[in-house]
Amino acid sequence: MTGEKRHLKEQIATHIYRRPTSPAAGNYRQRVVTRPGAVQPSAGERYVERRNRLYSARASQQQTYTDMMPRTLARTGTRASNSQHHLIKRSLPQYHSSPIPRRSGLHNGQHRQRGGFLWKILGMFVFFALIILGANFALTSTAFRVAQVTITGTHNPILVQSIQHMGMQDQNIFLIDVATLTTRIDLLPMVASANLEKQWPNQLQVTITERTPVLLWQTKHGTYSVDKYGVVIAPASETTGADALMTIVDMRTCGGDSCGRPRGQSIHPGDRLNQADIAFAMAVFERLPKVVGITDYTLRYDGSMPGSLGGDGAYVVESKTGWLAYLGGAHNVNPLDNRLVELQQILALAQQHQLNLATVDLRFGLRPVYTLKS
């Protein structure tokens, strides 16, 4: 009886739990039962030795575990719990390529691509059509044609009329050549500088800086205003404030080298005179009354006078009492103030001795010469 109980205990001890080692097995425990006949105690073997042998055999079996990690929402579909679970690594089955049948959806995708391309072409066509229509409207519409030209900086009606008649009105404001028109306005004799700006959609703004006349230049063909640079501006009748300007009487028969133009041709607005001669004449008008003390005289200009140097003209002061004073020109070595002082001394000497002067020549340095009337 005692032997039967011992045999049952040995059978019960051999019923153990083993963790599955096959990759195809699931992650659950499987009960493995060994046959009673597999364990036959040998004679004299103790229970403890058999138990140790069984534990050693179980420990020698290869078992594969993975690190403990929480389950994620992407893997399980539910939120991960705080508990950790054992995951067994599994190898994926070997992939064998196989022909994939073409789905009908690919044809639909191709149709969609073709349809998108056609829509792009149609959109580009519409875009360029709108550009062409907009450009045609901008170039042909009356809304963009110059209707008004505003001129500031001058009150001279002749100058304003000259600018207004340059054909700027009714031109397309996109096509109008601002640079060319500005150059044309600058070339007007009365204009020192000009600025032309567009004012959308159909106006132009012209800003003028007029030339300032400093004296009048009288010739056999007419009298003209001249600025300090020698530019002939306009006839005296068209010059504002001409009555307050001093006049130079040109005694030359204009033509050839004396005037810089063909013989027999007079000066015109826009021509240029010698700037040094203009500066010298302005100095005479300023200094003569102060140094000599005369105000009633006429200043003449003669380029063919004997003694004029380098082809430059010489100025002559004609007094109302009848005497002439040859001052020379701007290039004489003797300064103008010295010549005027000499003239003043000769006039004082003639008045003291009651001399009737005919001419006083001041062109030859410190040796003035005077003549008397017979």
pLDDT digits (tens, 9 = 90+) for 104-116: 555 566 666 777 8
Q: pLDDT tens digits, residue range 279-293?
A: 999 999 999 999 999
Helix (H, G, I), strand (E, B) or coil at 362: coil
What number is the average pLDDT over the span 332-341? 92
Q: Is 264 left (phi over 0), alpha (psi -120 to 50) or beta?
A: left
- Owner of token pair 């006049």: 247
The answer to whether the 143-210 and 213-372 domains have the same CATH topology is no
**SS3 labels along 165-229:** CCCCCCCECCCCCHHHHHHHHHCCCCEEEEEEEEECCCEEEEEEEECCEEEEEEECCEEEEEECC
- Owner of token pair 């010295």: 338
More confident position, 277 or 265: 277
The C-alpha atoms of residue 230 and residue 216 are separated, in whole angstroms, by 11
What number is the average pLDDT over the span 257-262? 47
More confident position, 55 or 261: 55
Q: Would you state the pLDDT for residue 262?
A: 45
Q: Would you state the pLDDT for residue 311?
A: 42
Tell me if the bond preceding 201 is cis, omega within 30° of 0. Answer: yes
Q: Would you state the pLDDT for residue 307?
A: 42
Q: pLDDT tens digits, residue range 50-64?
A: 778 887 877 776 555
Whether the CB-CB separation of 372 and 357 falls below 8 Å is answered with: yes
Residue ranges per structural domain of the chain: 2-58, 143-210, 213-372
Q: Would you state the pLDDT for residue 289?
A: 95
- CATH 3.40.50 holds for 213-372: yes
Secondary structure (DSSP) of 223-284 = EEEEETT-BEEEEGGGSTTGGGS-EEEE-S---BTTTTB-TTPPP-TT-B--HHHHHHHHHH
* CATH code assigned to 143-210: 3.10.20.310
The C-alpha atoms of residue 213 and residue 274 are separated, in whole angstroms, by 15
Query: In this structure, what token pair is assigned to residue 19?
Result: 């963790």
- The mean pLDDT value of the chain amounts to 79
